[in-house]
Structure 1
């Protein structure tokens, strides 16, 4: 998938209003950027989501995809966590940075 196609798919996520976790998961999977090895990109062990999110300002595209995957995995372990973080404004900045970097 080209960067232009990835960018378009990510821009479509801005319109998602329901089933956010599923929409983000499927889109990352579709564009080939779901990081099953996201933990390899993390600097904390066990993963401290809030500390890892502080790295966004210096993140490259790969780290952004790992951070987004991390939030999706957090939701797996704590159902509803992704939407709570979305509502707190912690997801959109990652998405916007990914779009900008493409």
Structure 2
């Protein structure tokens, strides 16, 4: 599966936040710092974090692929599942 296909799958969830910046604590948004919040993130923050890294990819090509290889995308998705299973 290509990165574009993966992004499409995530977008198909329908929970990406157009107001993702409202969930962030850094201005301008610093994805590295924001991703440190993942361990305690609720469902809404997880979807905002996913949106933020997808937007980051728009401005910095291949950043999503780098984050995916580093396991950051999987960690957010695992946290999302954990929140849904509560």
Change (3 A) 1:38 1:22: farther
- In structure 2, list runs of 5 or more residues that go unmatched: none
Moved over 6 A (4+): none
2:37 counterpart (52, 55, 66): 55
Q: Which has the higher helix share?
A: 2
Deviation (angstroms), 1:19: 2.0
- In structure 1, list runs of 5 or more residues that go unmatched: 1-17
Aligned positions of 1:32-47 closer than 5 A: 32-47=14-29
Based on CA coordinates, which of the two structures has the bigger radius of gyration? 1
What TM-score results when the alignment is normalised by the length of structure 2? Answer: 0.88
Residue-pair matches, total: 84
Deviation (angstroms), 1:21: 4.2
2:6 counterpart (23, 45, 51): 23
How large is the Cα RMSD of the aligned pairs?
1.3
Aligned positions of 1:8-19 closer than 5 A: 18-19=1-2
